[in-house]
């Protein structure tokens, strides 16, 4: 067992974020197989800002999919802050992961 902040993760197996693959259904399937933590594919701050429907779908979580991390990327502090606030208030994610490497 380990923790990220106040989120307890029961085992060390993490489903890595995979662009085009780590959608809500895939993440749920991984949890059904006992994954400790799943991470969404990269979610664009700009896509949330411009209310892209596909991006909203990427942010969906299932009730028994926890813990789940939504991975956010962007390069504008203002839209990153806006997107972070959206994820905090409109999703049931446990962690927001900022991708700073791609």
Q: List, by residue number, the catalytic residues.
A: 102
Q: Which long-range contacts (C-beta less than 8 Å, at least 24 apart) are formed by 73-77? A: 73/42, 73/43, 73/44, 73/45, 73/98, 73/99, 73/100, 73/102, 74/44, 74/45, 74/46, 76/45, 76/46
Q: How far is CA 41 from CA 2, 6, 8, 16, in A?
A: 22, 22, 21, 9
């Amino acid at each position: 067992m380990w923790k990220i902040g106040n989120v307890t993760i029961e085992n060390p197996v993490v489903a890595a974020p995979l662009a085009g693959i780590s959608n809500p259904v895939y993440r749920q399937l991984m949890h059904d197989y006992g994954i400790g933590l799943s991470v969404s594919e990269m979610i664009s701050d700009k896509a949330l800002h411009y209310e892209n429907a596909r991006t909203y779908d990427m942010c969906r979580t299932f009730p028994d999919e926890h813990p789940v991390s939504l991975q956010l990327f962007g390069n504008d502090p203002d839209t990153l802050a806006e997107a972070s606030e959206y994820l905090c208030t409109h999703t049931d994610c446990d962690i927001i992961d900022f991708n700073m490497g791609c």
